[in-house]
Amino acid sequence: MGKFDGKVALVTGAGRMRGIGRAAAMAFAQEGADVTVTGTGRDPESFPDDEKAAGWRDIDSVADEITGLGRGSLALVVDVTKEAQVQDAVERTVAQFGRIDFLVNNASAPRMAAWAPLEELTEEAWHTVMDIKVTGAFLCTKAVVQALLSQGHGGSIVNVISVEAKISRANDLAYATASGALATFTHKAGKALAPHGIRVNGVSPGTSDTSRNDILYGYPRTAVWDERLESIPLGRAGQPEEIGNFIAWLCTKDAEFIVGQCIDMDGGQAA
């Protein structure tokens, strides 16, 4: 018996082989949930070399892994900044599995989408980061909450934020600001939805060994990565699986008294 037998999760931004979204989706499936995974429909030519070598197929590969565990899966290309696409994804999830119980807002702009000094940061880059990380989380949450309220049995939502909101670097203004906004959204939505039995919480990963960090630290990792690890009190990076497992745990009955919290998983970076 799994903790999520008979339950259904929707995880956004879940197509990367070395990613928190994939790890979270697998954590739900391993505990018995059927899972919808969404991605942006990345061009395979843009895949990291290890994904190309593995014959990786983005969200379709994740869906296959979920099916391999004996669980139902649904892979959808979704732009989370488009309300109609988000609503369609939720409706297709309910149509496929008969219900929805959990949402993980993991979709985010590329790490370097708005990496620039403030005086050089463009409005377009600013909006790209804010729209995906903040507006996307809002639209997904709204659509899933409407379904949860209709079902009447509560549910759980986890927002993947970032400790960059607390330890912002000079060229990371947009991403850090978006992370701070998502943290505030988490606190407010948690309080607003708790009376309906819908819990909203957030996880703020620190430096993590995911493909999103390849552009900053290379892959295989360069000496810059080792320098970054030296700034982490625990002395290592976070692993996608430990973050994904914790996201899933926040949706279990063991965590049902946790509401509106943003929990750092950063090895002490923001302590």
Instruction: Evaluate whether 6 touches 32 at the Cβ level (below 8 Å).
Output: yes
Catalytic residue among 138, 175, 217, 225: 175
CA dist., res. 139 & res. 81, Å (int): 7
CA dist., res. 3 & res. 102, Å (int): 13
Residue 217 appears among annotated catalytic residues = no
Structure tokens at 89: 């994804």
CA atoms within 13 A on the CB side of 96: 21
Residue type, 178: A
Radius of gyration of the chain (CA): 18
Active site residues: 175
